[in-house]
Chain A
Amino acid sequence: MGSRVYLLLTLLFYTAGAVQVLVHAATRRRLLSLTTTAATLLGFATHTAALALRWNEAGRFPAVGLRDVSSFLAWSLVLVFLLMWLRSKVDVLGLAVHPTAFLLLVVANLSRPEDKADPYLQTLFLPVHATLAFLGYSALFVAFAMGVLYLIQERELRARSPHTFYYLIPSLEGCDRTGGRAAAVGFPLLTLAIVTGMFWSAAARGAYWTGDPKEWTAALAWLIYLVMLVARHRSGWGGRRGAWLGIAGFAAVALAFVFVTLAAPGVAAAR
């Protein structure tokens, strides 16, 4: 199995990246060294190859079953991280992204592939909906991470005695801006994912809205981000409230994700 080898290789690269980021954080070196960046890029390359091979092997878009889902999620997270990093050079993001990508890859490597053929998955909805949703999750994860970092840095500054995080985390303004930017990217993706999900549901089950938990949590998340973005747009500064909304929104998104994974959309429709 070709994809299996590449997925394992990817795990090795991401492990190297995660270990380096954590060691550098502990020793206050620059978080993303050249080797970390190289490991991330190599990992991303083997990861892309693994996904392509897996797509071919499974005969459908690789976003069904725990193995494919964690792998694809990690891939989109690393992609979003690389794009965000190119734009704003926020190294500290690696502290959240690298260990997360590593954990997702561990889960992916340990899970068995889901190979049951399902007619409902042989549709264009799967790649479109899944890609939008996963990229959206990743961007919103970045907003969540920046929110957490904002709150930690704010606590450090208010405590008036600097510890590790004071040195590690960039300015409050920097966390705020990066988090806001990530949410501004994630929100439209989430919106489109919800819309395509509704069309898929209509095509498969004949109803746009069936009222199951994943739809409610997704709607809640969407509302939270809407409030957050409107408030940010008004005052130009998300601040503490923005950070909390980013965290709450992501909690709702994560919950929706769990519901979706528990009953993969096509599988659920088939029952």
Chain B
Amino acid sequence: MIVVVGVSHRTSPLALREALAFPKETLPSALDELREQAGVEEAMILSTCNRVEIYASGLEDPAPVADFLAAHHGRRQDDLIEYAYRLAGEDAVRHAFRVAASLDSMVVGEAQILGQVKEAYELAEGAGAIGSALATLRHRSFAAAKRARSETGIGRNAVSVSSVAVELALKIFGELKGRAVLLVGAGKMSALAARQLVAAGATASVLGGRTFEKADALARALGGRAAPLERLRDELARADIVISGTGAPGTVISRADVAAARQARGGRPLFLVDIAVPRDVEPEARDVPGVFLYDLDDLKAVSEANLRERRKEAVQAEQVVEHEVREYLDWLRSREVAPLLAELRRRGEEIRRAELEKARRRLGNLTPEQEQALEAATAAIVNKLLHAPTVQLKEAARDGRGDMMGLIRRVLGL
């Protein structure tokens, strides 16, 4: 049975997650320790800033894994009692699927978690801790995560500040190929957004103030050119997207600058992103027709609205994941029943062969027709007798009724 023990942003304070975290380099030894101490067959440890979780197989009860998690970090089990979840069987499987699909994430639908889970499995595999049970869990949960992502919109709308800026640019300009991006100031966040825009086909130029070398370096990294801040009005007229993030105490781009640029642009829209605090762009510039000005608060408002959209989509994604969980559980159960079914068949055939032999000895020489009839009759008896138990077993497996399997085993003397 698969078990999961862990703490996450939902259940525990950051301090506890920090205390229970497994640094990457200690993971192989921790996995060895876990398998020795807790008696698990397979194990995987997922340790990110939002969650620390141990996935294991070969136990009926998650308690030994929980003991290991506490003991490994020099804690008592009591310290974890109200923060850690201990899941087994179906609940553990569902949790694994939901985590991979980013439904349990702080930012629903964020894309990093699948990469982190992937890496955790790879590390565990490298440590020789992955067998068939966790390998199929990995395979199935990844497939479910990809389905949820492609069939619903949980990952669709941008949430981080820089990607919201890119999303807005796309909402205005349709595509970014050939659009001109102007960076005012060479800050880290501007660079981040600009890199995404350039990757989508935009061209960049950078305006630098006193620290012109920095602007020049960034422009070169973005494959664009740098210019001094004095050239602002000319550059504004040429740009489609402006990202301003200087450390200047006052206004860098005034309403008059924007209005002048607008005149030279012949009605094409201008998208201004002001990520500076205090703001670089005079807020009144917003009133210039055809100008879309977003400051940090505006970007955050869009991000929050997008997050609300994602949560709506998450309802759909939960259904997709639940469907995949059910399919996986069905498969697991049908796998349990397969050896029993084979055994049943084998026994039936064995008895048939033996009885057939006896009958032949008694009957002497038979015509081919008689031989054929005897074969057919005995085979039919075995098939008909085994039909009902076979169906029952398959149903019992699907409904998760292990008791039925024991019963049939006993009744048939297997």
Contacts and interface: CB of A to CB of B under 8 A. Distances in A.
The main secondary structure of chain A at its interface with chain B is: helix
Contact of B290 (A162, A167, A234, A239): A239
B172 A171 contact: yes
A87 interface: no
A171 B309 contact: no
A173 B306 CA distance: 21
Interface in A1-46: 28
Interface residues of B, number: 26
A173 B309 contact: no
B157 A158 contact: no
B305 interface: yes
Contacts of A237: 266-269
A162 B306 contact: yes
A153 B170 CA distance: 12
A157 B266 CA distance: 20
Most buried by A among B171, B268, B305: B171
Interface in B264-294: 266-269, 286, 289-290, 292, 294
B181 interface: no
B176 to A, nearest CB: 10
Interface string A196-209: 00000000000000
A213 B211 CA distance: 68
Contacts of A241: 267
How large, as a class, is the contact surface on chain A?
Answer: 20 to 34
Contacts of B298: 160
B174 A173 contact: yes
Nearest to B269: A172
A159 to B, nearest CB: 10
Given A28-B312, A167-B309, A239 B172 contact: no
Contacts of A153: 171
B261 interface: no
B80 interface: no
A11 to B, nearest CB: 31
Contacts of A236: 268
Contacts of B289: 240
A158 B292 contact: yes
A46 B365 CA distance: 73
Contacts of B83: none
A80 B329 CA distance: 50
A54 interface: no
Nearest to A171: B174
A240 B290 contact: yes
B153 interface: yes
B77 to A, nearest CB: 46
B288 to A, nearest CB: 11
A167 B301 CA distance: 14
B175 interface: yes
17 contacts: A28-B313, A160-B294, A162-B306, A166-B171, A167-B157, A171-B170, A171-B171, A172-B174, A173-B173, A174-B174, A177-B174, A235-B266, A235-B267, A237-B268, A239-B268, A239-B269, A240-B290
Given A235-B266, A235-B267, A240-B289, 9 more contacts: A160-B302, A161-B301, A161-B302, A172-B173, A172-B174, A173-B175, A177-B174, A239-B267, A239-B268
